[in-house]
Amino acid sequence: MPQERLPLISCLETGGAACAKNENDAMNVQQLENELWEAADQLRANSRLTAVQYAMPVLGLIFLRHADNRFAACLPDIEANIPKEAPAAQRERIIKLGFQGKAAVYLPEAARFRRIASLPQGADVGGAIDRAMDVIEAEYEVLAGALPRGYTAFETDLLAELVKIFDRPAIRAATGDVFGRIYEYFLNKFAMNSAQHGGEFFTPPSLVRMIVNIIEPDHGLVFDPACGSAGMFVQTGHFIENARHAIANDAVTFHGQEKSDSNVKLARMNLVVHGLDASNIRQGNTFYDQVPRLVGQCDFVMANPPFNVDGVDARKVEGQVAPVEQGGRLPFGLPGTNGRTGAIGNANSLWIQYFYSYLNDAGRAGFVMASSASDAGNKDRDIREKLVRTGHVDVMAAIGTKFFYTRSLPCTLWFFDKGKPDDLRDQVLMIDARNVYHVVSANSRVFTEEQLASLNAIVWLYRGETEKFTGLVHRYQREAAAWLSRLPERLRADDAAVERVAALLRDFSGKARLAELNKDQPGEAHIAQETLEAFRDELAAASPGVEAVPPVRVEPVETLAGEKALQSVLDNLAPQLKALAKALEARHRHWLALLDKAEKTLRARASPAFDARAAREARRALLAADERKQEEPSARDKALEALQQAGCFIAQAHWLLTRFPDGLFADVPGLCRAVTLDEIEANDWSLTPGRYVGVATVSEEDEEDFAEKLREIHEELAELNEKAAGLARRIADNFEELFA
């Protein structure tokens, strides 16, 4: 039997779109990657610099670009409070003061990307970028020595072209924590694999956000002993600002350690660009460089350490074996060592103990770990037993493959909570999320906003926070209601767009004359009267309308009983929304096919009765935005969006209420289970969720969804085959004309 999957959460049933875009999906990621690689390729092809030499300068440009994006986003609100008559110098001082407490960096005029991008041809672009780095470091002492220089080493024309690439609309529009992602992208493309040896690689935002959502780091001291480019801290800042409506620098103090000097610089750059305090980012190898004053003092610890590191010198870390209250960082002992070298064979258990030992008596930790660590044997198993017996292991979540940017491997998220209530001390929440994901590409998966929220809802129920669960269901139903309210107007606009095509074709059909259509054509190419009549018959049979969904008034309620009653209404509506979306798609395809037939088979453009310009506009209105090569959505896009989003939010609430109908935590086969310590002991202290949650039974609903998805794939394949055949015919015709 297949494992529990979350088809409704992945929104496959509503057209494959996520209900709401993740912040990192605010732009086309593929377009971003292509444009960045174009920049890298320019350097590789035309620069005399090595990969190591040009990687940091490019990352410096990314820093300037991202800093300018965030600066520009905050600037209008600050400028709105400046008197128009204020002198330029006073104006700049007010702007600078206005950035205090903002999640952005103040940029002096000389450091603003638009100024660099607008330099005239032949200007000293390299010198301008070096000066930009100088003035930023002068403003932010914590960045002293961190920003790259030496841009004059680039050829002027090449550097100017590179700046233009980083000033394109897609990159100007980049939002969210793109910096860490871009950092990893360049490490991968430049083959700077030194940062990936031993399992070090960029933490996907989806996993960072899941960690942040579950441990809720909103106060005190937050420590990441393997901080990389500081993505954990950036996401914590977002959480505090968005969920707690507070200023991150006022709520928490970040401490980060990273063994690579270049990564320390990148972490400081990343924090400063987000307006976060970077003064406590230090260089050091966490295995050997302790931070004694933080042991047992941290409110939150979060990290994505390098997996499966071998070769750690056991003699250098054996002095760390001691209880936490005595300052020990390895309270449960040393892992096994290599009999030949004496080095520790796998450092996973070192990291796990470090995260535990840095926590204070009520602290929480969340971190990424290799899946093998939750089942490892020998001394790792003994360490795990001691850890579990403390009662501080809170949640274990299994994550599937393809979440990491450069590697396809599963992992497990571990969560500790030293402040767990007594009634939860003897159990651990196991979540198997391996089949929860949204496909970005063949090699990339993420969690959508709703997947993150729904997984988090399981933890809320486990902790007894039922009001949060009810609030989430309410939010989903409220979102569904909002999209349903937009639907009638959007459907009317789409109807009007289809009617324009229909009217244009009816006008042509009624006035077309064979003499006009066959003018200047050889006899064998003449259009027969029967062909024209057949088109007229097909046009007469085609209806521009579709059967709309009856108006439904949705009034979201905030009690569980009310939500369940409302959900019954929404669930009955969902199949109609799905059917209407399919009908709209079929209608668009049909009228586009009729328009193609008029233009290609009947040579409509040869007829005075055919308005070619109006036809182009009418066609564009029936095409998706990506087919039109434009970002602006058409009436078609907006109508389908309303249908898909309404259906998707209905599905989200449905999933939660069918799994947890009483608004209380319950074991769900294939998804989650609260496991007692006795059960864990009986399973040799394994912390692998899949061992405990079992598999889900295949429901009738799942079978229907699967069958429907297969039908959709079959229809799509047939359509692609038809397009491929048409393309092949056109290529063959072109070759015949070319060699005639």
pLDDT tens per residue across span 588-614: 999 999 999 999 999 999 899 899 999
Q: Are 3 and 698 spatial neighbours (Cβ–Cβ below 8 Å)?
A: no
- Counting runs of H as helices and runs of E as strands, what totals does the chain give? 25, 13
Provide the pLDDT confidence category of residue 205 given band limits of 50, 70 and 90: confident
Provide the pLDDT confidence category of residue 544 given band limits of 50, 70 and 90: confident
The per-residue DSSP string of 375-443 comes to T--HHHHHHHHHHHHTT-EEEEEEE-SS-SSS----EEEEEEETT--GGGTTEEEEEEETT--EEEETT
The per-residue pLDDT for range 679-723, each reduced to its tens digit, is: 999 999 999 999 999 987 665 455 555 555 555 555 556 656 666
CA dihedral 483, 488, 491, 492 (to 10 degrees): -150
Q: At what angle do helices 560-596 and 466-511 cross, to 10 degrees?
A: 20
* Residue 198, pLDDT above cutoff 50: no
Q: What pLDDT, on a 0 to 100 scale, did the predictor assign at position 12?
A: 30
- CB count in 10 Å sphere of residue 310: 12
Q: What pLDDT, on a 0 to 100 scale, did the predictor assign at position 716?
A: 54
**Are 615 and 711 members of one domain?**
no
SS3 549: coil
Q: Is 84 among the domain residues?
A: no
Q: What pLDDT, on a 0 to 100 scale, did the predictor assign at position 366?
A: 98
Q: How far apart are CA 177 and CA 207, in angstroms?
A: 13
Q: What pLDDT, on a 0 to 100 scale, did the predictor assign at position 334?
A: 96
**Are 717 and 593 members of one domain?**
no
Least confident of 203-212, 213-222, 295-304: 203-212
- As a whole number, mean pLDDT of residues 137-161 equals 90
- As a whole number, mean pLDDT of residues 637-665 equals 95
- Which pair of structure tokens corresponds to residue 631? 């970002």
Q: Parallel, antiparallel, or unpaired: how do β-strands 438-441 and 444-446 relate?
A: antiparallel
Show which of 646, 664, 682 is a domain's final residue.
664
**Are 619 and 571 members of one domain?**
yes
- As a whole number, mean pLDDT of residues 332-339 equals 92
- As a whole number, mean pLDDT of residues 526-542 equals 92
Q: Is 186 among the domain residues?
A: no
**Are 550 and 639 members of one domain?**
yes
23 vs 222, higher pLDDT: 222
**Are 623 and 708 members of one domain?**
no
Q: At what angle do helices 560-596 and 635-659 cross, to 10 degrees?
A: 150
Radius of gyration (C-alpha) of the chain in whole angstroms: 30
Provide the pLDDT confidence category of residue 189 given band limits of 50, 70 and 90: low
- As a whole number, mean pLDDT of residues 189-202 equals 45
Show which of 607, 639, 664 is a domain's final residue.
664
Q: What is the pTM of this model?
A: 0.85
* Residue 727, pLDDT above cutoff 70: no
- CB count in 10 Å sphere of residue 536: 15
Q: Is 293 among the domain residues?
A: no
Element at 252 (helix H, strand E): strand 252-258
399 vs 165, higher pLDDT: 399
**Are 722 and 575 members of one domain?**
no
* Residue 355, pLDDT above cutoff 80: yes
Q: Is 481 among the domain residues?
A: yes
Q: Is 635 among the domain residues?
A: yes
Q: Is 557 among the domain residues?
A: yes
**Are 583 and 647 members of one domain?**
yes
| Domain count within the chain | 2
- Top mean pLDDT of 229-243, 578-592, 676-690 is at 676-690
- As a whole number, mean pLDDT of residues 119-148 equals 95
Which residues, 6+ apart, have CB-to-CB distance to 459 below 8 Å? 214, 395, 429, 431
**Are 659 and 719 members of one domain?**
no
Q: How far apart are CA 571 and CA 568, in angstroms?
A: 5
Provide the residue range defining the domain that includes 729.
Answer: 698-734
Q: Is 546 among the domain residues?
A: yes
Q: What is the mean pLDDT of the chain?
A: 86
- As a whole number, mean pLDDT of residues 93-99 equals 93
**Are 656 and 710 members of one domain?**
no
Provide the pLDDT confidence category of residue 172 given band limits of 50, 70 and 90: confident
Least confident of 3-7, 63-67, 518-522, 585-589: 3-7
- As a whole number, mean pLDDT of residues 32-58 equals 68
Q: Is 216 among the domain residues?
A: no
**Are 480 and 576 members of one domain?**
yes
**Are 649 and 555 members of one domain?**
yes
- As a whole number, mean pLDDT of residues 532-556 equals 82
* Residue 17, pLDDT above cutoff 50: no
Alpha-carbon distances, residue 496 vs 96, 622, 636 (angstroms): 50, 11, 10
**Are 632 and 492 members of one domain?**
yes
- Top mean pLDDT of 38-47, 532-541, 627-636 is at 532-541
- As a whole number, mean pLDDT of residues 232-255 equals 95
- Which pair of structure tokens corresponds to residue 204? 């996907």
Show which of 618, 649, 664 is a domain's final residue.
664
Which residues, 6+ apart, have CB-to-CB distance to 705 below 8 Å? 7, 8, 12, 13
Least confident of 401-410, 490-499, 718-727: 718-727
